[in-house]
Amino acid sequence: MKIKLFSAFLASSLLFGCASQTFTINGEGGEVPTSQKTQHFFVSGIGQEKITNAAEICGGAENIVKVEAQHTFMNGFLSFITYGIYTPRDAKVYCKSE
């Protein structure tokens, strides 16, 4: 019985999917994020939005290299244990280095 329960838990933990949306704007580069924030959503983020102004962070749109939104394993785990009440997401902005 314990083996079946452990197997079911292990199989369900593989469903904690990770996702990443990356928008490359002005070429390649920017290995280290200039800004990294955790965005907090509730009830799976239904009808909610968070705005990250990359042009403001990088000092102009011409300095933006990449914008990335990530749903990591830990974000999925937190969402799972709170039954979707709390659903965080990470937002990263990469700027051209001077």
Domain parsing of the chain, residue ranges: 17-95
Q: Can you tell me the distance from the alpha carbon of 98 to that of 84, in angstroms, rounded to the nearest whole number?
A: 41
DSSP for residue 14: T
pLDDT in tens, 7-31: 776 666 666 667 888 888 887 776 8
Measured distance CA(59)–CA(64) in Å, rounded:
8
Distance CA(8)–CA(21), nearest Å, equals: 30
> Residue type for 89, please?
R
pLDDT at 85: 92
**The pLDDT of residue 5 is above 80:** no
What is the sign of the dihedral through the CA atoms of 63, 49, 86 and 14?
Answer: negative
- Compute the mean pLDDT over every residue in the chain, rounded to the nearest whole number: 84
Q: Are 67 and 54 in contact (CB under 8 A)?
A: yes
Stated pTM of the model? 0.74
